């Protein structure tokens, strides 16, 4: 029986290592494909601009709703051809802000309205589907609440639908920029990942003729593509309604187009718990889309390379269960007398692709200054491994369920170092998985000790990286949860005690708010 258990664990270890190696090689393949891309040729402006509706799905976004609406009102597009719809599902005072903003801009002659419905059925997908019949445009631009598009956004995207041979272009996706890249090491590392996704992954898939996804924001849809019966419109049976619709559109014969040279800046989550929530939703929704469309994608009459690339894309979050299973298998293997392959060779086989992808992404976007962003790769690596439990739980739910609650990523209007987010009521509490992540850190340390005893400390480096990753995630979460309290105490003791003793004494009571 012991030999059978050892065999099963070794097979599981080998399969996970093979899966990670495939994803690493795929990242290198995308780098190779992206090298063939060049700046898109700007299509000539049309004689008559088509009607465009800009849809802004919002749910409880008091900090950023006005910024978003103002940026979209200021889009440089013919006023008589532009309609703005604020799809407001809010349940807090955001609705009051939206109404005030909408009324003010409408009084200045803007074609803008707030679209509301009973309940939040279908969440973002439901809001988009509800508003579409009320839209006047032939093209639908979508911006999430954390974006601030440049005035020339529509003038640079719409012509790509109208160029010769573009009649089947279903959607145009642009690159996400960053309003708060330099806010903290956490936002810098996330920016590094997003830059790699857009500048290399999206560009590489387009260059290879592969299927790729709409990113949910900072893009434009041809209305006829959404309403095509073969496409099926917005659907809410996955938490990635954007990825789902874009794949169904491509399976129906519509073509995507990615514009790396058009940038729409957005706010990166400054709170680790918000980042984990965002990752959970993306992981769960991607796997739900894989369940829903995987068989159709594989059955398509397309080259094998295209189908394989699409399956890897839809299943990209399977990396995290593989990482978690690798960790879980090593200690019992050692305790039962088995021996996993050398972790050092595993590191080399499974980890060269992503660093290369991120380096090339930085070089493509920032030229000689590429290394400044790439220096945050160690923190990004720690985050990527540290959230593997969080994302594995999301994958498990995605494999078992359809739809689910769309838990929004809170936005705080954080753009500069002076901005604060921790006093907002949108701040998230400590994640419930923190104790499990702390346990996994200790488990990884145990595995590292066992592996060091078996093969030397150099072989234990892989498991020490796990321990550091879970420790980093737990440590950052605890710091962000407690730091506001500590900073308020410092402010009270070191500043108010000297400058305003009366206020200091008042705030030192049990009812004090600082």
Sign of CA dihedral 337, 343, 344, 345: positive
Residue 219 CA to residue 212 CA, distance in Å, equals 13
- The span from the CA of 200 to the CA of 34, in Å, is 6
Is 242 catalytic? The answer is yes
Region of residue 248 (left: phi > 0; alpha: psi -120 to 50; beta: else): alpha
Beta-ladder partners of 256? 171
- Report the alpha-carbon distance of residue 325 to residue 226 in Å, rounded: 39
DSSP letter for each residue of 302-371: S-HHHHHHHHHHHTGGGHHHHHHHHHHHHHHHHHTT--PPPHHHHHHHHHSHHHHHHHHHHHHHHGGGHH
Which of 89, 146, 244, 431 is the catalytic position?
89
**335: CB partners within 8 A, 6+ apart:** 450
Among candidate residues 144, 195, 242, 431, the one labeled active-site is 242
Q: Going by C-beta distance under 8 Å and a sequence separation of 6 or more, which residues neighbour residue 400?
A: none
Instruction: Give the C-alpha separation, 242 to 245, whole Å.
Output: 5
CB-count burial class (<10 Å; 0-12, 13-18, 19+) for 488: middle
- The answer to whether 470 and 444 have CB atoms below 8 angstroms apart is yes
Active site (annotated) includes residue 144: no
CA distance 112 to 110: 6
- Token pair recorded at residue 436: 């499990």
Q: C-alpha 94: how far from its chain's center?
A: 24
**Residue 132: CB partners within 8 Å, gap ≥ 6?**
140, 223, 226, 227, 233, 234
Structure tokens that stand for 416 in this block: 């500069």
Residues designated as active site: 89, 242
């Amino acid at each position: 029986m012991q030999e059978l258990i050892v065999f099963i664990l070794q097979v599981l270890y080998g399969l996970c290592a093979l899966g990670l190696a495939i994803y690493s090689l795929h990242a290198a393949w995308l780098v190779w494909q992206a090298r063939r891309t060049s700046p898109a040729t700007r299509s000539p402006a049309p004689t008559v601009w088509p009607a465009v509706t800009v849809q802004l799905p919002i749910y409880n976004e008091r900090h950023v709703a006005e910024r978003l609406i103002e940026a979209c009102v200021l889009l440089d597009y013919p006023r008589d051809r532009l309609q703005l719809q604020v799809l407001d599902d809010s349940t807090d005072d955001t609705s009051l802000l939206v109404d005030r903003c909408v009324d003010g801009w409408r009084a200045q002659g803007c074609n803008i309205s707030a679209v509301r419905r009973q309940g939040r059925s279908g969440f973002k997908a439901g809001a988009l589907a509800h508003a579409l019949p009320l839209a006047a445009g032939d093209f639908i631009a979508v911006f999430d609440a954390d974006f601030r598009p440049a005035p020339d956004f529509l003038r640079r995207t719409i012509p790509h639908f109208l160029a010769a041979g573009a009649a089947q272009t279903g959607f145009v996706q642009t690159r996400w920029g960053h309003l708060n890249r330099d806010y903290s090491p956490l936002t810098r590392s996330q920016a590094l990942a997003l830059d790699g996704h857009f500048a290399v992954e999206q560009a590489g898939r387009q260059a290879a003729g592969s299927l790729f996804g709409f990113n949910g924001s900072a893009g434009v849809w041809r209305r006829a593509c959404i309403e095509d019966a073969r496409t099926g419109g917005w659907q809410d049976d996955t938490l990635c309604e954007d990825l789902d619709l874009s794949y169904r559109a491509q399976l129906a014969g519509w073509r995507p187009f990615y514009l790396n040279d058009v940038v729409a800046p957005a706010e990166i989550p400054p709170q680790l718990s918000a980042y984990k929530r965002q990752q959970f939703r993306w992981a769960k929704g991607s796997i739900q889309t894989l369940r829903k469309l995987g068989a159709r994608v594989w059955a398509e009459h397309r080259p094998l390379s295209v189908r394989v690339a699409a399956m890897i894309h839809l299943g990209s979050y399977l990396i995290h269960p593989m990482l978690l299973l690798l960790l879980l298998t090593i200690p019992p293997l050692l305790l039962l007398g088995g021996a996993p392959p050398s972790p050092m060779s595993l590191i080399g086989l499974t980890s060269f692709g992503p660093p290369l992808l991120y380096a090339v992404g930085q070089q493509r976007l920032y030229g000689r200054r590429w290394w400044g962003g790439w220096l945050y790769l160690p923190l990004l690596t720690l985050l990527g491994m540290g959230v593997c439990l969080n994302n594995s739980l999301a994958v498990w739910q995605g494999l078992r369920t359809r739809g689910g609650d769309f838990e929004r990523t809170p936005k705080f209007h954080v753009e500069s170092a002076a901005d604060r987010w921790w006093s907002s009521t949108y701040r998230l509490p400590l994640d419930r998985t923190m104790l499990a992540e702390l346990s996994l850190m200790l488990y990884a340390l145990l595995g590292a000790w066992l592996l060091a005893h078996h093969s030397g400390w150099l072989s234990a480096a892989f498991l020490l990286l796990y321990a550091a990753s879970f420790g980093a995630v737990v440590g950052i979460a605890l710091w962000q949860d407690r730091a506001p309290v500590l900073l308020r105490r410092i402010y009270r003791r070191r500043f108010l005690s000297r400058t305003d003793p009366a206020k200091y004494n008042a705030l030192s009571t049990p009812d004090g708010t600082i």
